């Protein structure tokens, strides 16, 4: 089914359109085949969340945005985040003065190039992670995510890793980085090991972060700092799990 022949009144029209976008992104070489599987796992968790941004996540998004505004930060882009939200990534990077770096698990120079072109089409100027001359390694990390840019992830304090698997966060933490993530799965290693884990769909999170960056643009560093220091990720994850459990119990009674 292509985007054009999805019936407008289909009850799952929004989800089908996104699937179709993902499938197009796979065929155009942005998304890895595994990215399609990752998307399906995300959809299942989103069902449990009610496909909505709840109050808990809204608060976490505020904390994450404040952290980006406060710090020397990088947004790490993979195939899925590029396929879903490249325009919003570029916008958020501009508003929060964050760098953009491409970092892939299923490494492919062709895919890096295509993702870079897509981000540039939406206005990105400097993209890190492309030029081999500047690549170094995350100490101890075995997967291809170990290749990071000296000018980007290597030298920044805060790394925003929307939607990824769980092998890198642990090593970024060992490098004393602050890690922000977006993952629909609150049980993933990434969600558990990050400093700020937004348990929500990236499609909803990025527009909200853009909105909140504009709202907070004139906040002082003290204001932003106060928002970040009050946050406790472990408590937040417990609240999300309780929220999901309650939804399932409510639906089953
Ligand atoms: O492009 P590459 O080569 O770097 O590969 C990217 C993927 C995503 C394929 C790779 O990092 C991977 O295999 O990730 P995982 O282990 O499948 O983890 C992805 C996580 O993202 C899962 O926990 C999903 O539930 C979650 N997820 C999927 N779609 C979304 C999502 N979280 C937020 N928003 C989504 N739209």
What are the residue boundaries of the structural domains of the chain, listed by start?
A: 3-49, 55-246
pTM of the model: 0.96
What are the residue ranges of helices labelled H in 52-201? 55-70, 79-96, 109-121, 169-174, 189-193
Average pLDDT value over all residues in the chain: 95
The reply to whether ligand 1 has any atom less than 6 angstroms from the CB of 245 is: no
- Tell whether the model's pLDDT for residue 45 goes beyond 70: yes
Give the per-residue pLDDT at 2.
Answer: 62
| Ligand 1 atom index nearest CA of 201 | 34
Predicted confidence at residue 228, as pLDDT, reads 98
Q: Name the residue at shortest CA distance from atom 24 of ligand 1.
A: 42
Identify the residue with better confidence: 169 or 6. 169
Is 46 touching ligand 1 by the criterion CB < 6 Å? no
- Tell me which residue has its CA closest to atom 7 in ligand 1: 35
**C-alpha atoms less than 13 angstroms from C-alpha of 88 in its C-beta half-sphere:** 17
**In the block, residue with structure tokens 């325009």:** 87
How many whole angstroms from 220 Cα to the centroid of ligand 1? 34
Asked whether residue 1 carries a pLDDT value surpassing 80, the answer given is: no
**R_g (Cα) of the chain, nearest Å:** 18
pLDDT at 14: 84
Q: Check pLDDT > 80 for residue 5.
A: no
**pLDDT for residue 35 is more than 80:** yes
**Cα–Cα distance, 233 to 96 (Å, whole number):** 22
**Can you tell me the distance from the alpha carbon of 115 to that of 127, in angstroms, rounded to the nearest whole number?**
10
In terms of C-beta density within 10 A (0-12 exposed, 13-18 middle, 19 or more buried), how is residue 79 classed?
Answer: buried
Per-residue model confidence (pLDDT) at position 7:
75
* pLDDT value for 4: 65
- For the four alpha carbons of 19, 31, 174 and 131, in that order, the dihedral sign comes to negative
pLDDT of residue 188 exceeding 70, the answer is: yes
Predicted local confidence at residue 164, as pLDDT: 81
d(CA 173, CA 139): 11
More confident residue, 15 or 166: 15
pLDDT of 56 reads: 98
CATH topology for 55-246 is Rossmann fold (3.40.50)
Residue nearest to atom 21 of ligand 1 (CA): 163
Rounded to whole angstroms, how far apart are CA atoms 3 and 125? 30
Which residue minimizes the CA distance to atom 14 of ligand 1? 165
Write the pLDDT tens digit of every residue in 65-106.
Answer: 999 999 999 999 999 999 999 999 999 999 999 999 999 999
Q: What confidence score (pLDDT) does residue 3 get?
A: 63
Say if residues 71 and 98 touch (Cβ distance below 8 Å).
no
């Amino acid at each position: 089914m292509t985007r054009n022949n999805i019936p407008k009144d289909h009850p799952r029209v929004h989800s089908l359109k996104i699937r179709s976008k993902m499938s197009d992104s796979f065929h155009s070489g942005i998304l890895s085949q595994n990215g399609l599987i990752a998307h399906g796992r995300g959809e299942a968790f989103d069902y449990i969340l009610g496909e909505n941004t709840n109050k808990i996540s809204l608060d976490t998004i505020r904390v994450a945005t404040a952290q980006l505004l406060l710090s020397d930060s990088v947004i790490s882009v993979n195939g899925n985040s590029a396929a879903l939200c490249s325009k919003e990534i570029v916008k958020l990077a501009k508003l929060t003065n964050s760098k953009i770096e491409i970092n892939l698990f299923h490494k492919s120079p062709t895919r890096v190039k295509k993702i870079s072109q897509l981000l540039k089409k939406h206005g990105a100027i400097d993209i890190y992670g492309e030029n081999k001359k500047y690549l170094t390694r995350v100490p101890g990390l075995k997967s291809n995510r170990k290749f990071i840019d000296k000018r980007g992830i290597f030298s920044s304090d805060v790394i925003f890793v929307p939607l990824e698997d769980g092998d890198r966060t642990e090593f970024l933490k060992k490098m004393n980085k602050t890690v922000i993530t977006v993952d629909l799965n609150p049980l993933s290693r990434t969600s558990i090991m990050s400093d700020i884990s937004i348990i929500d769909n990236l499609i909803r999170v990025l527009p909200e972060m853009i909105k909140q960056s504009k709202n907070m643009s004139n906040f002082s560093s003290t204001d932003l700092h106060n928002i970040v220091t009050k946050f406790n990720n472990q408590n937040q994850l417990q609240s999300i799990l309780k929220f999901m459990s309650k939804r399932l119990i409510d639906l089953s009674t």
